[in-house]
Structure 1
Amino acid sequence: MTIPRSDGRLACGRDVQGILDQVAEGRAAERDAHQSGCLHCWAALAEYDRLWSPVRELAAERVEAPASVLEVALEKIRQVVEHADYGLLGSAEGLTRISVRVVVAIARRSAQEVPGVRVALSRYRPGPGAEGGTAAASPRAAAGVTGGTTTVEVTLAADYGTDLVDLGDRVRRAVAARVRELTGMEPASVSVVVDDVLGER
Structure 2
Amino acid sequence: MADHSADWALPCGRTEAELLDVLTDSAPPELAEHVRTCPHCQAELAELKAVWAPVRRTAQIPVEPPHGLVERALMTVRGVRGGLGASPVELAQEGGALRIHPQAVVLLTRQLCAEILARHPGVHLRGCVGDADEVQVDLAVRYLLPASLAERIQQDLAADLRDVLGAGAPTVWVRIADVEPPG
Q: Structures share a fold, TM > 0.5?
A: no
TM interval, short-chain normalised: 0.3 to 0.5
Query: Which structure ranks higher in relative contact order (CA pairs < 8 Å, sequence separation ≥ 6)?
Result: 1
Q: TM-score, normalised by structure 1?
A: 0.41
